Amino acid sequence: MIKKYLSLIKFSHTIFAMPFAMIGFVLGVYSVPVLENIWLKLLLVVLCMIFARSAAMAFNRWLDKNFDAANPRTAIREIPAGIISANKALVFVIINCIAFVITTWFINLLCFYLSFVALFVILFYSYTKRFTPLCHLVLGVGLALAPIGAYLAVTGVFSLIPVLFSFVVLCWVSGFDIIYALQDEDFDRSQNLHSIPVWLGKKNALRFSEILHAISALLVIVIGLYAQFNWLYWIGTAIFCGMLIYQHSIVKPKDLSRVNIAFMTANGVASVAFAVFVISDMIVYLWHGL
């Protein structure tokens, strides 16, 4: 049963936002001279990420169940295939929402108050494809809450660098979600659903995605220069930017055969490698400063 729910929420896709949450967390640790219960804070942040993402993905699957059933590409998903009932999926959403809010209460009051805003954003995304082609940007905003949210969990205050990392995530996620949506252009158009590919066509949608990814890469470079990161950060930046370039090199308007490689593999490598090198850079810097 657990395996079915992990499949429902595509738990493996946690690889996209979680690394940036860890960057935000370590930035917060770096910003606080003395931090008590650091491991408990880390556990609470990880739980928040899991609960929020599980609620958002399950809600998306529940809300889109009829569209998924009609789309040959998605008809095998758990709800339309009858593996998990729609009612059980909705209960799963509610449980995760409640668990997310309760967990934020044990972090700090700011995170608790903002948890309702976060839930609105990540759940509202599922409705946006019904009325705007900018739905990809709303998804980007949802995942962009990861680095700033983790930073707030540690410090309780806003700061420029984690906010900039959130904008990196916004542009990066929105860009690769456009690439993923290319697969459903014809179906979405037939159902009066909105997306950048439906609005602009495949070729121009890819250009739009390239612009977003270029902005994301530029922001990563700006952060590195502004915060005066060291050489490990720049290795991570090179890998991150390289993966952005790679995914655009393998997806073409008339050849979508490698969309899944671009979506999962390239972006998974980009997020994990970038986080490993950025966090390593901060740890090395901290050790040298002691």
pLDDT in tens, 27-40: 999 888 767 788 99
Q: What residues does each domain of the chain span?
A: 2-289
Contact 180, 135 (CB under 8 A): no
Q: Which residues pair with 252 in a beta bridge?
A: 255
Name residue, tokens 């009858």. 82
Assign 23 a pLDDT band (cuts: 50, 70, 90). Answer: very high
- Helices 109-128 & 38-63, crossing angle to 10 degrees? 20
- 135/284: higher pLDDT: 135
- 50/5: higher pLDDT: 50
Assign 287 a pLDDT band (cuts: 50, 70, 90). Answer: low
Q: Supply the pTM of this predicted model.
A: 0.95
Record the tokens describing residue 69, joined without a space. 């059933």
pLDDT in tens, 69-102: 999 999 999 999 999 999 999 999 999 999 999 9
Instruction: Give the Cα separation of 263 and 196 in Å (integer).
Output: 16
**pLDDT at residue 34, rounded to an integer:** 65
pLDDT in tens, 257-280: 888 877 778 898 999 999 999 999
pLDDT in tens, 218-257: 999 999 999 999 999 999 999 999 999 999 999 998 888 8
pLDDT in tens, 137-146: 999 999 999 9
Instruction: Give the class (CATH, top level) of 2-289.
Output: mainly alpha
Instruction: Give the Cα separation of 168 and 75 in Å (integer).
Output: 33
Instruction: Give the Cα separation of 101 and 114 in Å (integer).
Output: 9
Chain centroid, CA 150 distance in Å: 13
**pLDDT at residue 290, rounded to an integer:** 37
Name residue, tokens 């395996």. 3
Chain centroid, CA 195 distance in Å: 18
The average confidence (pLDDT) of the chain is: 93
Q: List the single range of 31-40, 51-60, 166-175 with lowest mean pLDDT.
A: 31-40
Task: Judge whether residue 179 has pLDDT over 70.
Answer: yes
Cβ burial 21-49 (10 Å sphere, 16+ → b, else e) = bbbbbbbbbbeeeeeeeeeebbebbbbbb
Contact 31, 159 (CB under 8 A): yes
Name the residue among 132, 137, 138 with its Cα closest to residue 118.
138
